[in-house]
Structure 1
Amino acid sequence: MADYPFPDPVVEIANVEEVARDLVVIANRDVDLVPNIGVIGGTHSVLVVDTGLGPRNAEKVLSFASEYARGRRLYLTTTHFHPEHAFGAHTFTGAATYLVNTAQAEDLATKGAGYLAMFTQLGEPVARELDSTRIPVPDLTYDGGYELDLGGRTVLLQPTGRAHSKGDQVVTVPDVDVMFTGDLAEAGQFAIFPWFPPHDTDVSGIRWVEVVKRLAEQRPRVVVPGHGDVGGARLLADVRDYLTELRDETWLRRDSAMAEETVAEEVRALMIERHPEWRLPEWIERGVSCLCAEHPAEMA
């Protein structure tokens, strides 16, 4: 098993930020494999957005949400199927109704076991959190979109189609203009491209650009990214601009028949030069590989 050179992927309930009336975020503190987790309240129900990695993290989130709800009904949704976002959902069984879009449910069913095996090999701290994980099965699935009535507040669950994953979903709270993006948007780091051919190639750089363009046009007041600090509309614009320049710089080099390895080297250096303060530059090369596969010459 590989050494894990990062802080343990543990959700800290002490890091709770109120971003609107009856709406809080358990912040991820820029810790790898810890997502930003939302707890959204209405008069009769509370929705939890994402669970943390594995059952131990999820137990802490469920305990916090149950106390926060004070007797209100609990719902759970996840922004996409990746382990730190959804692999604690089984812990909510019997305590909350778990609902996601159909494509995400299919991701869980077809890829969940493989991702569990892959993440367990990342290192002992990750394996420890994933111990006893059971791949969740949603209670409710939907197509097209879902309006969840929490009582005096409606939350919109909107699948985006293939982008960061096949089953991405955005969660918006219109009355306070808050948007949860999952890993479609991350703050202060390079976009995570889960490009693992031949096992998983569902991420699409060209679709991701279009999705984030549409989200940026909505100009939400508050944006809760999958990872990194809570921000505003500028956060979405930054992600849109980065994905666009990653695509354009990659394709410019592929147009000249440059070898993919050389493209990756040059684009990585350029992106780091343009964003020297961003974390996780190791994801640049995977983004380049994905976009090379989506180059118009390859798609013809």
Structure 2
Amino acid sequence: MAEYTAPDPIVDVTGAQEVADDLVVVPNQGVQLVPNIGVIGGSHSVLVVETGMGPRNAEAVLKFAAEYAKGRRLYLTTTHFHPEHSFGAQVFAEEATYLVNGAQAEERAAKGAGYLAMFRGLGAPVARQLEGVELGVPDTVYDRSHDLDLGGRVVRLRGTGRAHSRGDQVVTVPDAGVMFTGDLVETGQFAIFPWLPPHDADVSGIRWIEVMRRLAAERPRVVVPGHGDAGGARLLADVRAYLELLRDETWARRDSAVGEETIVEEVRALMIERHPDWAGREWIEPGIGCFCAEHPDDSGEE
């Protein structure tokens, strides 16, 4: 991963926006390595979605959530284990019940220390936020699905299977039509492919496309992406269209026995031509590498 040169990845809770009754989003306001954070309320409990990167960010999120809850019980969940989404969970230990899907818990245990070291190496702005991180373990781990009753409102937690990561989880609020996707969806940005073989090769472009199909079938009113502005169900279609184009253009050249260097050069240029205003161009090449590895001739997958 390239050195981080953007502003310090600090969560700003002052920008919180209500997107439904008793449901607010703290937007990342375009700051890299800051996720969109959700606070979802019911009559007796409140669920926080994402912690921000490191203890200091998580302290700000917890303070905001506790004031919002006004004495209601607190829960915490995270959409996947990556540092900016979950590496502040320790701060909630005495204040909230932290629950995630089993695949995410396993991935956190297996890869957490490696990702902590990798992100600390990105530069001082990131390392500062990761000071004092303790990975710990969730309080409650479910298999693939869990319905959390907040009192008059049930929130659905669903593990998706491999896609952006091995342990992706989608959080939906059916009565409000709101869906939190984590990094399965970004707005105005190329899809983030953590394709880092041999250290991490669990991202699957093929499965990611299928997950997007399933999520679109739910027809959410509001989609809250991992990073970028919230929007409607169109965000799901946009991500799927990009992933399918990236797959098709990569595989067409792979079928023609074009060398990988040429594949990267040509496909990257095409993706930028199609989406000149999107950020995160550094994620195009890892996406191409992932789809090359998933080509039927190499992976045996159809």
Contact in 1 for aligned 2:222/2:233 (Cα 8 Å): yes
Task: Give 2:226's aligned residue.
Answer: 226
Say if 2:269 is the partner of 1:269: yes
Q: Distance in 2 between matches of 1:123 and 1:171?
A: 31
Q: Distance in 2 between matches of 1:133 and 1:184?
A: 25
Map Cα deviations across residues 152-184 of structure 1 (whole Å, 9 max, x no partner).
000000000000000000000000100000000
Please list every run of 5 or more consecutive structure 2 residues that lacks an aligned counterpart in the other structure.
Answer: none
Contact in 2 for aligned 1:54/1:131 (Cα 8 Å): yes
Task: Give 1:46's aligned residue.
Answer: 46
Map Cα deviations across residues 41-72 of structure 1 (whole Å, 9 max, x no partner).
00000000000000000000000000000000
Q: Distance in 2 between matches of 1:272 and 1:219?
A: 29
Task: Give 1:92's aligned residue.
Answer: 92
After the TM superposition, which residues 5-84 of structure 1 pair with which residues of structure 2 at under 5 Å, given as runs?
A: 5-84=5-84
Task: Give 2:251's aligned residue.
Answer: 251
Say if 2:138 is the partner of 1:129: no
After the TM superposition, which residues 187-206 of structure 1 pair with which residues of structure 2 at under 5 Å, given as runs?
A: 187-206=187-206
In the TM superposition, residue 261 of structure 1 has moved relative to its aligned partner by 1.3
Task: Give 1:142's aligned residue.
Answer: 142
Map Cα deviations across residues 110-166 of structure 1 (whole Å, 9 max, x no partner).
100000000000000100000000113100000120000000000000000000000
Say if 2:157 is the partner of 1:157: yes
Q: Distance in 1 between matches of 2:89 and 2:51?
A: 6
Task: Give 2:180's aligned residue.
Answer: 180
Contact in 1 for aligned 2:250/2:291 (Cα 8 Å): yes
Give the 3-state SS of the residue equivalent to 2:67 in structure 1: helix
Q: Distance in 1 between matches of 2:4 and 2:250?
A: 30
Map Cα deviations across residues 179-225 of structure 1 (whole Å, 9 max, x no partner).
00000001000000000000000000000011011111222000000
Give the 3-state SS of the residue equivalent to 2:185 in structure 1: coil
Q: Distance in 2 between matches of 1:108 and 1:189?
A: 25
Q: Distance in 2 between matches of 1:287 and 1:216?
A: 22
Contact in 2 for aligned 1:108/1:136 (Cα 8 Å): no
In the TM superposition, residue 105 of structure 1 has moved relative to its aligned partner by 0.3
Contact in 2 for aligned 1:83/1:115 (Cα 8 Å): yes
The count of corresponding residues between Structure 1 and Structure 2 is 299
Give the 3-state SS of the residue equivalent to 1:183 in structure 2: strand
- Amino acid in structure 1 at the alignment position of 2:266: E
In the TM superposition, residue 31 of structure 1 has moved relative to its aligned partner by 0.8
Say if 2:297 is the partner of 1:297: yes
Percent of aligned pairs with the same residue? 71
Give the 3-state SS of the residue equivalent to 1:226 in structure 2: strand
After the TM superposition, which residues 274-289 of structure 1 pair with which residues of structure 2 at under 5 Å, given as runs?
A: 274-289=274-289
Query: Once superposed, which parts of structure 1, at least 4 consecutive aligned residues long, lie more than 6 Å away?
Result: none
Q: Distance in 1 between matches of 2:32 and 2:298?
A: 33
Q: What TM-score do the two structures reach when normalised by structure 2?
A: 0.98
In the TM superposition, residue 3 of structure 1 has moved relative to its aligned partner by 5.4
Give the 3-state SS of the residue equivalent to 2:17 in structure 1: strand
> Could you say what the CA RMSD is over the residues aligned between the two structures, in angstroms?
0.8
Task: Give 2:170's aligned residue.
Answer: 170
Contact in 2 for aligned 1:87/1:136 (Cα 8 Å): no
- Amino acid in structure 1 at the alignment position of 2:205: G
Contact in 1 for aligned 2:195/2:286 (Cα 8 Å): yes
Contact in 2 for aligned 1:22/1:41 (Cα 8 Å): yes
- Amino acid in structure 1 at the alignment position of 2:148: L
Contact in 1 for aligned 2:102/2:144 (Cα 8 Å): no
- Amino acid in structure 1 at the alignment position of 2:128: R
Contact in 2 for aligned 1:3/1:124 (Cα 8 Å): no
Say if 2:225 is the partner of 1:240: no
Give the 3-state SS of the residue equivalent to 1:14 in structure 2: helix
Q: Distance in 2 between matches of 1:218 and 1:69?
A: 28
Please list every run of 5 or more consecutive structure 1 residues that lacks an aligned counterpart in the other structure.
Answer: none
Say if 2:103 is the partner of 1:112: no
